[in-house]
Amino acid sequence: MLRNFRQVFKGNQMPMTVVMGVVLVGLVAYLAPTSGNSEAPDNVMARVYGRDILKRDTDRVISDALQRMGKQPNIQAMLPYLQNQAVGQLVGEKLRAELAERHGIVVTDQEVAGALQAQMKQNPYFVNPDGSFRPTSEINMYLLETQGISLKTIEDSTRQMLTIRKLVDQEASKIPVDEALVNLENRVRNEKLNLESFVVTPDLAAVADPGDGKLAELLKVGGARFQVSARRVIQFVAVEPGFFGTALAVDDAALQAAYDSKKAQYTEMKVSHILFKAKTDEEFAVAMKKAQDLRPKLVAGQDFGKTAEELSDDPPAKQNRGFYDWFKSGAMEKPFEDGAAALKVGEISQPVRTPYGIHLIRLEGKRTKSFEDTREELRAQLTEDRFATKAKERLEQLRKRTGERGDLTAAARNLGLKVQTSQPFLEEGPVTIPGLVEASMIASEAFRMKVGQVSKLQQSGSNYVVFRVQEERPSAVPPLAEIRDRVLAAWKLEEARKAAVAKVQTALQTGDFKVLGEAKPQENITITGLGELGKHPGIRKALLETPEGKFTPILWNGEGQLWIARLKSRTAAEPLNFEKRQALVQELQRAGSEKLLVSELQDLDAKGRMRPGFSSLWGRYSGIWINTDVPVGREDLGE
């Protein structure tokens, strides 16, 4: 092949400089950052410094979250939010992995296994009588059922914990700690103070609205103080139940028919059961034989609860003796429910097969709500169902007439729908959009979409919504009309703070501290013992330097209140012995190490997001790229 290349160049009269120029242009184009993702596979959710986050990774995180949350009425509407949260969580994990690699940190599988085993030994269920561990499948099922978390998630968390611990320990050894810092920290922790303090909260309610003139002046002077990042504006159509009027009304005949068809849903049962786990055909055969041999003994009067406690493979059986309190239809596997429903109270079923194994079930109780008891519940359910059907039909007509990137106005008018336009909103933080419930989820989805794109049908509280991303406004200082509330809040805070400072200064001059409220005495307390107050750099410095009998400077605490204290007396800290000094040095080094590593992590994140390309060399190895084109959620993740 090399000979062929030589022949090509030998027979080609094109100057070498031109050839190299073409190569250079191609290389620059390849290296240049790009935000395009046309080459990104559908299953890649993000790429962080060359580490891919796959769809199955985010699905696992979402599934764990759904398992912990339990059944939710609006789960499909939450999936976009949960997916964003999952991607953010996994990006953080990949960033920590990158940081660890740069510091040469390696955590072996053996270390992870050792740490996991140490954790598992804390739970008696995981350990057999001979000291060995139960099968991984059983441990995983127990964790999912009792904690809503998979063993894989715990393993990943353990690896991250070990990685961070090694990182902190390694970097801590490089942190210099001198004698002055150790002695200062000893004072903070062990010097005893007697003091009385006053706290003054700025009274915002006492500050009147000054009008647009003053607020415009503050906005002009404030400049970057009121600058916001990129904001988006949406057109939206929200359909609420009242839109359809009496068309949603439900008569008694419909209620009775619904009750008759759903009567099983209003029947509740409580049972006890014994489970023999099985997965393969061979295991099912063994489990069936165990159940068939055991049933006659139970029917003859053998204690069911005690037997469940001793023999059942169901993880909670050791605590609840196989008992499950009242549950409705749909809460259990269908074969299990059918087997229980066929019994009379006190009867024991024939062996019942479910995906978990073979069960023996004893019916402990059964009750069914009457039609009268369920009338209003049924009315609400049928009304909601009718509304959902009509709202979805109307909004799907809107989407069909509008297209993927059309304006909503004309189509909405023809369908009798009202189009509203939001104020510009940010991607992060609480979002309030008049006319929308749970606006934060809609806002989050709007930032995943392209400008001009029309959304799929969304649920917002009890309403249904379709929206279009109308525009994106760049980072800027918005006009007063858009952020008047924010500017007014800033004005009131400034004026209230000025008044609070003047009140304290007057008290110091006159000696009349009653105007500041009741003094708070604190005796024999350390600076560390003051909690968050003692961590405040200014307050900490003031308490260390203020002479006995004097007032500290006027300071603002972390809650936005004025704070001042009179130091009555102090008792010096005892000198440190060798062991205490060594322990304090190590603690200070670890604290310094953690701060440095957090700073490095933030720097990695910021620099990576400046190179968001997927296929460029930068994007492939030195950037952070998020795929906004992957469909949100999966049908099998929701209800």
Q: How many CB atoms lie within 10 A of CB 312?
A: 24
Check residue 541 and give its pLDDT: 95
Q: Is the pLDDT of residue 127 over 80?
A: yes
Other Cβ atoms within 10 Å of 113 Cβ, number: 12
Burial 9-36 (b: 16+ CB within 10 A, else e): eeeeeeeeeeeeeeeeeeeeeeeeebee
Q: Model confidence at 357, in pLDDT bands (50, 70, 90)?
A: very high
pLDDT of residue 5: 32
Q: What is the pLDDT of residue 503?
A: 95
- The model's pLDDT over 310-334, given as tens digits with 9 standing for 90+, comes to 999 988 888 889 999 988 877 788 8
Q: Which helix (H) or strand (E) holds 200?
A: strand 192-200
Which pLDDT score is estimated for 44? 86
pLDDT, residue 394, reads 95
Residue 635 has pLDDT above 50, yes or no: no
Taking the C-alpha atoms of residue 555 and residue 537, their distance in angstroms, rounded to an integer, is 10
- Between CA 370 and CA 267 the distance in angstroms is 10
CATH architecture designation of domain 44-173+598-637? Orthogonal Bundle (1.10)
Q: Strands (DSSP E) along 487-575, which ranges?
A: 520-525, 555-556, 562-571
Dihedral of alpha carbons 495, 496, 501, 505, sign: positive
Alpha-carbon separation of residue 300 from 129, 276, 290 (angstroms): 30, 20, 16
> Which residues pair with residue 51 across a beta bridge?
48
Q: CATH fold of 192-223+482-571, please?
A: Chitinase A; domain 3 (3.10.50)
Question: Residue 397 belongs to what H/E stretch?
Answer: helix 371-402
Residue 134: band (very low, low, confident or very high) from pLDDT cuts 50, 70, 90: confident
Stretch 37-46: mean pLDDT, rounded? 65
Q: How many CB atoms lie within 10 A of CB 57?
A: 21
pLDDT band at 33 (very low <50, low <70, confident <90, very high): very low
359, 339 Cβ separation under 8 angstroms: yes
For the chain, the first-to-last Cα distance in angstroms comes to 59
Q: What is the pLDDT of residue 629?
A: 67
CATH 1.10.260.40 fits 230-476, yes or no: no
Position 398 scores a pLDDT of: 95
How much is the pLDDT for 365?
Answer: 93
Residue 74 reports pLDDT greater than 70: no
* pLDDT tens-digit series, residues 211-248: 999 999 999 988 788 998 999 999 999 999 889 888 88
pLDDT-derived band at 371 (thresholds 50, 70, 90) equals confident
Lowest mean pLDDT among 39-53, 191-205, 312-326, 578-592: 39-53
Query: Residue 390 has what pLDDT?
Result: 93
Q: Reply yes or no on whether the pLDDT at 88 is more than 80.
A: yes
Counting every residue written for the chain, the total comes to 639
Average pLDDT over residues 521-542: 95
Predicted confidence at residue 300, as pLDDT, reads: 93
Q: Is the pLDDT of residue 452 over 50?
A: yes
CA–centroid distance for 493 within its chain: 32
Contact 487, 495 (CB under 8 A): no
Residue with tokens 């336009």: 421
The mean pLDDT of 72-97, rounded to a whole number, is 82
pLDDT at 41 (0 to 100): 59
Average pLDDT over residues 443-452: 91
Which positions ≥6 away from 418 have C-beta within 8 Å?
237, 412
**With bands split at pLDDT 50, 70 and 90, how would you rate the model's confidence at 37?**
very low
Q: What is the pLDDT of residue 632?
A: 54
Average pLDDT taken over every residue of the chain: 86
pLDDT for the residue numbered 576: 93
Percent of the chain with pLDDT over 90: 55
- pLDDT tens column, 488-516: 999 999 999 999 999 999 999 999 999 99
In 285-417, which ranges are E strands? 323-327, 352-354, 357-368
**Residues whose CB falls within 8 Å of the CB of residue 536, separated by 6 or more in sequence, listed in order:** 555, 557, 558
Mean pLDDT value of segment 294-313: 93
Predicted confidence (pLDDT) at residue 523 exceeds the cutoff of 50: yes
Query: DSSP state, 272?
Result: E
Average pLDDT over residues 580-592: 93
Closest to 189 in 3D by CA, of 596, 553, 575, 558: 575
Q: pLDDT at residue 23 above 70?
A: no
Determine the 3-state secondary structure of 77 from DSSP: helix
Lowest mean pLDDT, pick from 70-79, 416-425, 428-437 = 70-79
Element (DSSP H or E) covering residue 236: strand 231-239
Q: Looking at this protein, which amino acid is placed at residue 212?
A: D
Long-range contacts of 444-447 (CB under 8 A, 24+ apart): 444/80, 444/81, 444/84, 445/80, 445/632, 446/232, 446/234, 447/232
Give residue 152's pLDDT: 85
Cα separation, 519 vs 421, whole angstroms: 52
Distance, CA of 529 to CA of 235 (rounded, Å): 53
| Arithmetic mean of pLDDT, 269-283 | 92
The reported pLDDT for the residue numbered 6 is 36
Q: Is the pLDDT of residue 627 over 90?
A: no
Average pLDDT over residues 366-387: 87
Rounded Cα–Cα distance for residues 554 and 198 (Å): 10
Query: What pLDDT was estimated at residue 72?
Result: 65
β-strands 463-473, 51-54: how paired?
A: unpaired
